[in-house]
Structure 1
């Protein structure tokens, strides 16, 4: 019976994951943030009447690919379909790695169940950073493999690197975030020297990809447009603003309205000139807002909106303590300290908690 379970472990979870994706596709799933909606409108042509080849937050190669798909078959929902497909393939590769590591033991079944819960949850609430995170995560664990395997095949490309590549194209920053996190954890907890060698190819893919993005944007004369969107994002997602909106109601009404998405830059070009001023003002105020209360407020916002994910994280952490309490505590401490250190500089949103988890 155990042999049959091990033989069909991946097939069982793969079939379950496929049926879940098919069922959720016909249920009222939604995008978790408006960014996905806007990017889908751009690449599909719903926003301008013709498919656009640049969707701001996606890598230009992926935006261009989406625009070609919509030109070829405009009636197909390519954007969410690609997200569903990439998430499913990432889940399948992750389950395969669990089977390679643990066989078909009870521990392996629990790991697969946790992965399935995350997978199903984020199919209901699609978000491009999470899609990227799933793809990069599964590609990296396949690349890192088993520490006992000390051969050099990990210094070359292999099939699961395609997930790392596509994850990078979906959200380039995620790959570098994962590599930085894995390196910090390895330095402080695992201390495996082989990991650095196996990280070389993903790092190279990211650097080449960023170079292509810079050249593409410059060649398409989109540098000013890209810079404007970076400025808008830098102000809108500033932790000082988003965690203290009411403080700006009387102090700076325009900035307060902007924080609620109630300012249209297309109707008043002069507002664009205020973005660098607002960014500087928020940066200067950053240190005034740093306190234990600010950290609690940021975390409580997450608690209020993500009960399921928070419960899943708590249960999984308890499970990890049973597996190896020492490493689990140290890893959790490293990640928690990293988030605390970055919280004054970046808005720690729900998707960031999910990526760290």
Structure 2
């Protein structure tokens, strides 16, 4: 009988996941959310260097090697995009299957199934279509926390599955896993708190130890794979670039000329470093040392201008506002202080979990109530600490904040399901309320997705034409200005999105005869390999070759004059001729030495 029930739960979970896939496919198409994923896909697939690469810069080596292996077998399929989508829908299946197994009555199973489906469609929603490896990592981590809390000894394999989810998340995006890992640890600790016995303590301790050991081993393999001197040098550049551009800023030149002079950075080189240009690949002298010096200097200036205490106070203010700001979502990349319905659901679940232990009073002992109060307090303290950390770091995009909400919601949902075994109907009344909120936000998600789809289709009209031009001129090589690779600036149509790539469409993983002039991928051994295939030793000299061209937004207000100034400061006089305009948006320039 039990086996039959498990089979039904399995089938229903598959059906729920299939419905989510169909619904998302019906209302939209799959896109990589950002150009970061596009570049990683190009490296894995072989489009970047001409051969699938296991050294993929943003991911750890073992998973990069695993995914690139599939590209070696079948080159013309979008394996990386398929992997991200599969991970996310697998999480939906695992959550629904375990939740259904914990629901004893048929009406509770129906309610649980509806909750998982409506939450997937009305809250997570657009993340299924605009896939991004950071969010996928957070989804895997959140699902692992849910499985850990709902694990029943000798009844399922939750701990084992949770282990593999966490390991996969770490390999996929180690920084995001480490950000969510404290909440996973809280989930493990809460599991022990709610049971409070010696056997449970050692079981949780064993799980924690195995996870930490596996993560350390994975990191060790990655570091060994990147132990060659050229990769170590690039890793230093990557870390310095991340610190400067993600967490600091580039101080202005005129007010800090003495500092830049001490680094040997002239005004044209400074311009390459700034966010106004960011084409740092053009100059090999802009290395890890320079970027680190600028980051440290910027940090000192910022600390002097804005003391830590003031930043902390401002972060708390922003944090509190984000908790109770229930404005409806109008766009996909929402304002960093607008988290509805995520925040609304979290507040409801905190209240619901506490109420399910208190009412009716005879269902709980005083010890149980104290334990749940302590568990909820621990969870809230941990989430507050993480939120203050990311707010003070001045980087709170939804690909980071939504997974934090997701793991918190799933931890609370897991506690609620555990309580449903002993309590009466109250936990499922809370589940019904959350399901209803999620359902009410399904139209909002559809509206957001429709708007984002239109914006991305407008974008494709420009960029598809540009990439078609590259393919038609395969004997040439094109260096793309960083900001042109993101948008066509003033030539964007109203509502047009920034650059991304559609999954499973126009898949061409053959060697691409173009590269960005900046960003996190430049100055790596893969960049050197790519230039070598094109016949160049570096970007600065390669750009002057007879078959090399610069691509820049046609309406760039500052024009292409910056590149003339740069080469002049290097003692090289160049001419710049506009060769062609693509899609009324992109200018193709020939830069040649006089």
Q: Which residue of 1 aligns with 2:282?
A: 267
Mapped contact 1:91–1:116 kept (Cα < 8 A)? no
Structure with the greater relative contact order (CA < 8 A, sep ≥ 6): 1 or 2? 2
TM-score normalized by structure 2? Answer: 0.50
Moved more, 134-143 or 206-215: 134-143
Correspondence 1:147-296 to 2 at 5 A? 149=152, 158-184=160-186, 191=193, 193=201, 195-219=204-228, 221-238=230-247, 240-241=248-249, 248=252, 258=273, 260=275, 262-272=277-287, 273-287=289-303, 288-289=305-306, 290=311, 292-293=313-314
342 and 7 in structure 1: CA distance in 2 versus 1, 3 angstrom threshold: same
Question: Contact 2:147 / 2:159 at 8 angstroms: preserved in 1?
Answer: no
Could you tell me whether the CA contact under 8 Å between 2:149 and 2:188 is conserved in 1?
no
In the alignment, structure 1 residue 133 sits paired with structure 2 residue 138: yes
Q: How does 1:281-320 map to 2 (within 5 A)?
A: 281-287=297-303, 288-289=305-306, 290=311, 292-293=313-314, 305-306=333-334, 310-320=339-349
Looking at secondary structure, tell me which structure has more helix per residue: 1
Distance 2:10 2:286 in 1: 54
How much has 1:345 moved relative to structure 2? 4.4
- Find the aligned partners of 1:268 and 1:25 in 2 and give their Cα distance: 44
Query: How far does residue 93 in structure 1 lie from its aligned partner after superposition?
Result: 0.9
Report the secondary structure of 1:53's partner residue.
coil
Cα-to-partner distance string for 1:3-59 (whole Å, 9 max, x where unaligned) = x99974553343232343356458333222321111011111222232222111111
Task: Provide, for residues 108-147 of structure 1, a one-character-per-residue CA deviation record: whole Å limited to 9, x for no partner.
Answer: 346413245455321122110111122232234324434x
Q: Which runs of 5+ in 2 are unaligned?
A: 257-266, 356-372, 406-594
Greater shift in the superposed pair: 127-136 or 215-224 = 215-224
Structure 1 residue 184 displacement after superposition: 4.7
Q: Is the 8 A contact 1:99 1:108 kept in 2?
A: yes
2:37 equivalent in structure 1: 36
Alpha-carbon contact 2:144-2:162 (below 8 Å) kept: yes
What is the DSSP-based 3-state SS (H/G/I as helix, E as strand, rest coil) of the residue aligned with 1:271? Answer: coil
2:398 aligns with: 350
Q: Indicate conservation of the 8 Å contact 1:44/1:67, yes or no.
A: yes
> Is the contact made by 2:55 and 2:65 (CA closer than 8 Å) also made in structure 1?
yes
Aligned pairs for 1:100-111 (under 5 A) are 100-103=101-104, 105=108, 108-109=112-113, 111=115
**Contact 1:129/1:174, CA 8 A, preserved across alignment:** yes
In the TM superposition, residue 226 of structure 1 has moved relative to its aligned partner by: 2.0
Q: 1:285 to 1:187 in 2, by over 3 A?
A: farther
TM norm structure 1: 0.79
What corresponds to 1:61 in structure 2?
A: 62
**Structure 1 residue runs without a partner (length 5+):** none
Q: Distance in 2 between matches of 1:43 and 1:265?
A: 23
Distance 1:249 1:91 in 2: 50
- Cα distance change, pair 314–228 in 1 and its aligned pair in 2 (3 A): same
Deviation at 1:98, TM superposition (A): 1.8
Q: Does the 8 A contact of 1:98 with 1:111 survive in 2?
A: no
Which residue in the other structure is 1:145 paired with? 150
Residue aligned with 2:340, SS: helix
Deviates more, 1:270-279 or 1:79-88: 270-279
Instruction: Figure out how many residues of one structure are paired with residues of the other and give that number.
Output: 345
Structure 1, 191-200 or 270-279: larger mean CA deviation: 191-200
Q: Distance in 2 between matches of 1:189 and 1:152?
A: 16
- Supply the RMSD in Å over aligned alpha carbons: 3.9
* Bigger Rg, structure 1 or 2: 2
Shift of 1:341: 4.0
CA distance in structure 2 between the partners assigned to 1:20 and 1:109 by the alignment:
12
**Residue 46 (structure 2) pairs with residue 45 (structure 1):** yes
Q: What is the deviation of 1:282?
A: 2.8
